[in-house]
Amino acid sequence: MRIARFSVDDEPKYGVVETDDPEGLTGTVNVLDSDPLYRPVQFTGEKLQLADVRLLAPVIPRSKVVCVGRNYAAHAAELGNDVPEQPLIFLKPNTSVIGPRDGIVYPEQTHDLNFEGELAIVIGRICRDLPKERVNEVIFGYTIANDVTARDLQKSDGQWARAKGYDTFCPLGPWITTELDASDVRVSTELNGEPKQDGRTSQFIFDIPEVLAYITSFTTLLPGDVVLTGTPAGVGPMLPGDEVSVSVEGIGTLTNKVIVRD
């Protein structure tokens, strides 16, 4: 099931998407009566064309976006970093979240803005001290993320809050896929149609059960929280006017354009 959050006349709604288009530009959406994270799926009977709606970020995290850094050995190597001995965790504020086709704002404080395509996990249940064998009980579904990073600020600041936390630095979408075996799916990124990243989740240093068990060993995850699982090798710069598309096998494609704030 593909669950989308969308708007018509600026009113956010939820629906189940039916489409063969990985970006959801064509197809239909069956409208739901409420957010399915908190109530069972119930259709209103209304059916809309995707061309007539605006897809939004499929979830606005209730409290946080939790991210795993350097979870592919090749990505750690390309930036000259060692492979971590345990998951390397950082946070993005929920104010960094935007949706499909929304603009990624290029801040004036950076001169090296990078894309990082990733698989993202959407949490469906409150969890703390989660055993690895029970992770599937708390996963609502999966979506696509771009962990936008001001690489020069990441290096100069010594910590990553600013470099990864600007408004618009966490595109999510185009929807949540609730049924996916995420243990070995392709994660790829294109910049202006040119392939840049290509990896598989089977290459994770720390797999999804390890990641969620580790995160919940020190913090509680809430319904709607999002976990970014790490990016493959091939990260690189993007400039105003560039279009970046992140694709995850079994989910679809998330596309955003880099803009300068007016």
pLDDT score, position 9: 84
State phi, psi for 178 to the nearest 5 degrees. -90, -15
**For the chain, what's the residue count?**
262
CA distance 113 to 243: 13
Chosen CATH of 2-55 out of 2.170.270.10, 2.30.30.370, 3.40.50.300, 3.40.190.10: 2.30.30.370
Q: What is the three-class DSSP state of 13?
A: strand
* Confidence check: pLDDT of 118 > 90: yes
Q: Is the pLDDT of residue 40 over 80?
A: yes
Question: Hey, where are the domains in the chain?
Answer: 2-55, 65-260
Sole residue written with tokens 């618009």: 168
Whole-angstrom CA distances from 37 to 4, 53, 120, 123, 251 are 11, 21, 16, 9, 18
pLDDT of residue 217: 98
Q: pLDDT tens, 208-227?
A: 999 999 999 999 999 999 99
Q: Please check the confidence at residue 180 and state whether its pLDDT lies above 90.
A: yes
| Mean pLDDT rounded to a whole number for the chain | 97
CATH of 65-260, one of 3.90.850.10, 1.10.630.10, 3.40.50.2000, 1.10.565.10: 3.90.850.10
The whole-number average pLDDT for the span 46-64 is 96
Those residues with Cβ within 8 angstroms of residue 93's Cβ, 6 or more apart along the chain or in another chain: 64, 65, 165
Q: Residue 114: is its pLDDT beyond 80? A: yes
- Residues 222 and 136: their CA atoms lie apart, in Å, by 15
Q: Do the Cβ atoms of 99 and 53 come closer than 8 Å?
A: no
Asked whether residue 261 carries a pLDDT value surpassing 90, the answer given is no
User: Which DSSP string do the residues of 37-83 spell out, in sequence order?
Assistant: TTS---EEEEEEEGGGSEE--S---SS-EEEEES-BHHHHHHTT-PP
